């Protein structure tokens, strides 16, 4: 979905990760969208610095279907990483979120 320069990516995440994103946004005094974009920006920097990324599959049958909004330019950069590694943008976003929370010291892998 695209709305005025913002793309939405829907994927299943478990409640714990969703809660961590929300809590981190509150802690940083920013919106959830801004927190997700911070995670994506961090992951994109990591992706530029490495030639090997271990992607984490998204949840297929469990978890909450959640839409995360990204500015178009970040969506396009995330999509380019997805295409480079031949994985879906959902898997790339999920990996970015998990990577961010591991880096922040709040590890989360379901």
CB 37 within 8 A of CB 70: yes
Enter the pTM of the model: 0.87
At 10-65, the pLDDT tens digits run 999 988 899 999 999 999 999 999 999 999 999 999 999 988 899 998 888 788 89
Is it the case that residue 79 has pLDDT exceeding 80?
A: yes
Q: Which uninterrupted H or E stretch holds 65? A: strand 64-71
5: which DSSP letter? T
Going from the N-terminus, what domains does the chain have, and what CATH number goes with each? Answer: 2-103 (1.10.1220.10)
The tokens for 50 are: 């490495």
- 1 compared with 30, residue with greater pLDDT: 30
- DSSP calls for 67-109: EEEEEHHHHHHHHHHHHHHT--HHHHHHHHHHHHHHHTT----
């Amino acid at each position: 979905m695209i709305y005025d320069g913002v793309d939405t990516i829907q994927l299943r995440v478990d409640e714990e990760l969703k809660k961590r994103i929300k809590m981190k946004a509150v802690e940083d005094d920013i919106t959830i969208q801004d927190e997700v974009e911070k995670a994506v920006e961090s992951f994109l920097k990591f992706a530029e610095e490495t030639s090997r990324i271990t992607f984490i599959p998204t949840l297929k049958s469990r978890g909450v279907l959640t839409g995360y909004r990204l500015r178009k330019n970040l969506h396009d950069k995330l999509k380019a990483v997805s295409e480079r590694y031949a994985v879906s943008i959902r898997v790339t976003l999920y990996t970015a979120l998990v990577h961010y929370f591991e880096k922040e010291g709040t590890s989360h892998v379901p």
